[in-house]
Amino acid sequence: MTIFIENRSMVTPGEIIAEGNYNVGQNVYRKDKRIISQVIGLVSIKDDYINVVSLKGKYIPRVGDTVIGKVTDVSLNTWTVDIASPYPGILRPATSLDRRFDPVKDHTRKFFDIGDVISAKVFSFDRTRDPVLTLRDNNRSGSTTFLGKLIGGRVIEISPSKIPRLIGRRGSMISTIKQYTNCRMIVGQNGRVWFKGNSFEEEYLVLQAIEKIDREAHTTGLTDRVKEFLEDARKKMGKPTAKGEQPKK
Amino acid sequence: MTNKEKTVLITKNGIRHDGRKKTDLREIRFEVGILDRADGSAIIYWGKNKILVAVYGPRELHPKHMALPDRALIRCEYRMATFSVTERKSPAPKRREKEISKILAEAIEPAVFDYLYPRSVIDVFIEVLQADGGSRCASITAAALALADAGIPMKDLVVGCAAGNLNGEVVIDLDDVEDKEGQGDLPIAVLPLSGEVVLLQSDGVFNPEQYKEALDLLMDACQTIYKLQREAITNKYAKITEEIIEPVEVEPEPTEAKVEKKKGEKTEEKKETEEKTPKKKASAKKAKSEQSEESEKKKKTSKKKEKKTPPKKDEEAKE
């Protein structure tokens, strides 16, 4: 039971992290009692659980995730949605519309057309089938993420493994950004973030903040630095703080 | 296979034509993540070799019939630029390039956890910008870095190196002259952690003792290269960390300039979109108004609700 690598430090594929009866977490594998990293990332050791938090990689759908996708194909009863993953998302009218869909009378194109950006939830996915999306939120806790067509605003794509960093501990990072920019934001677990603000300057601030997080995700004290950055930027804009400021209609 | 008298490949003192000793490697340097559009990329400077590798994927595979039901397909394309050798190389892929593409794909496969991404494809593009012997070994070394940079789960990195037979002397890391005029060439690729051999080719003549000696020397050489490989990865991220620690005050200035510059651009775009909007279908408008109504409703109740959602996401994040 020895650990060779310090917690929170960087590892590369094939690097031995520990030896002994540890539990294998994400992005590590076991070979002859040795726990070895699979990816470039940061080690996180909790009790005897060894994880590596990857710094890059493609999104692999997980049931229940909110994703932001772009409609790439429309057929008579299906939309194919690009969700920035190796597998295309499939959306059907039955799980996405508020009313009955009659394939004889109704046209799928009238609801979503090619190029439309939507936020959706992953309804089902396994390694044999492509992910099925839904626009219905059967979450009992009363989640407020908007599911449906996103009109206006911007979408930025970052590495999906950095999304937890963007959200922050208990949502601290994301609420900081919202607070300083008055922007509406929807974060997709697939690495896409949609945001819409009242002015270009504020939207641009969000963009810069997200890019900063994407670039510096492997460092510590990021929330404070982002806060500092946003504060400085607001001062330069002549609006020192956004706290309590009501968004314009 | 007669040795030309012009170049002395190796002297009695064991000095090679370019001044290296038997087990000396040429200078090797890597850069990781140099292409912005690719998922992962690396360039290797190995002696006079310059090889650029781009990795895309795992991504959707077309044509679909090529897909493997249980794992990702690994496609590899090794290509030499027309200017990579002294006499212009025809751009059409030759037998040699097809062969190298195939063996490289097969050498990468054991290192990648391909069963994690069934029905998808991982594309590896290798462009030889300048060739000087041992380009397949250099290619695989760089390809492993590019794969790791793309965040693809791997058992281990892959390291390639070649040994040769120069007038009966076993040497490491052949260059172009030694490759063409020597008596044997033995390229190898290994997974350095376990020592598994994923590529082994052999051209020319080696006797059993020479073969054993060559393999021993190669294993040591691969470990040396492996260290350089790992340094290259950590350097990429260490650079960013250093930037943050030192200049905190420098950043704000250029950002402000950017804002103003982009502001000008953006207002133009906005005008355009405004012009376009009236033409949009009525349905789109409807949906828009519906959404804005919703958003207003949300705004009123949002602050309570917003605070509810993040912790849930955070739980996922912790996982």
Question: Could you say which residues from 81 to 110 on chain A have a Cβ atom under 8 Å away from some Cβ of chain B?
Answer: 86-88, 110
Each residue's pLDDT tens digit, A99-122: 888 888 889 999 999 999 999 999
Q: Do B151 and A159 touch (CB under 8 A)?
A: yes
**In this structure, are A127 and A183 located in the same domain?**
no
Residue B266 has pLDDT above 50, yes or no: no
Q: Considering the entire predicted model, what is its pTM?
A: 0.82
Average pLDDT score over residue span A68-97: 94
Looking at A11, A32, A54, which one is the last position of a domain? A54
Residue A70 lies in a domain: yes
ipTM for the predicted complex comes to 0.89
CB-based contacts of B305, cutoff 8 Å, min separation 6: A142, A144, B298
Query: Which of A29, A151, A185, A223 is the best substitution to test chain B (most B C-beta atoms within 10 A)?
Result: A151
Q: For residue range B80-120, what is the model confidence (pLDDT) as tens digits?
A: 999 999 999 999 999 999 999 999 999 999 999 999 999 99
Q: For position B7, what pLDDT does the model report?
A: 74
CA distances from A209 to A176, A229, B257 (A): 10, 8, 16
CATH number of the domain where residue A97 is located: 2.40.50.140
Give the CATH number for residue A9. 2.40.50.100
Topology (CATH level 3) of domain B28-244: Ribosomal Protein S5; domain 2 (3.30.230)
Instruction: Please tell me the distance from the alpha carbon of residue A127 to that of residue A61, in angstroms, as a whole number.
Output: 10
Q: Which residues contact B37 (CB under 8 A, 6 or more apart)?
A: none
Chain segment B22-80, per-residue pLDDT in tens: 999 999 999 999 999 999 999 999 999 999 999 998 999 999 999 999 999 999 999 99
- Rounded Cα distance between B119 and A130, Å, is 10
CA distance B118 to chain A (A): 7
Nearest CA in chain A to B293: A249
Last residue of a domain, one of A97, A115, A150: A150
What's the CATH number where A231 sits? 3.30.1370.10
Task: Give the helix ranges, DSSP H, for chain B.
Answer: 95-108, 135-149, 176-181, 208-245, 252-276, 282-318
B293 or B14, which is more confident:
B14
In a domain, A219, yes or no: yes
Domain-embedded: residue A114: yes
Is residue A248 one of the residues assigned to a domain?
Answer: no
Q: Which residues of B touch A144 (CB under 8 A)?
A: 298, 302, 305-306, 308-309
- Confidence class of residue A142 from pLDDT cuts 50, 70 and 90? low
Over residues B272-292, mean pLDDT: 46
pLDDT averaged over every residue in chain A: 89
* A161 plus A146 within the same structural domain: no
* A166 plus A210 within the same structural domain: yes
d(CA A245, CA A84): 35
Number of domains making up chain A: 3
Same domain, A125 and A73: yes
A218–B contact, CB cutoff 8 A: yes
Tens digit of pLDDT for each residue in B115-148? 999 999 999 999 999 999 999 999 999 999 999 9
Rounded to an integer, what distance in angstroms lies between the CA atom of residue B21 and that of residue B166?
Answer: 12
pLDDT for A50 equals: 93
Cβ distance of A38 and B113 shorter than 8 Å: yes
Provide the b/e sequence for B286-310 (b: ≥16 CB within 10 Å): ebeeebeeeeeebeeeeeeebeebb
* Mutation site for A-interface testing, chosen from B237, B266, B281, B294 by largest number of A Cβ within 10 Å: B237
Looking at the structure, do residues A77 and A130 belong to the same domain, yes or no? yes
Question: Do A170 and A207 belong together in one domain?
Answer: yes
Percent of chain A at pLDDT above 90?
Answer: 68
Q: Residue A180's domain spans which residues?
A: 154-237
Nearest C-alpha neighbor of B287 from the set A146, A153, A149? A149
Residue A60 counted as domain residue: no
Residues A146 and A162 in one domain: no
Contacts A151 to B, Cβ<8 Å: 284, 287-288, 291
Say which residue, A243 or B15, is predicted with more confidence. B15
Residue A126 lies in a domain: yes
CB contact under 8 A, B241 and A219: yes
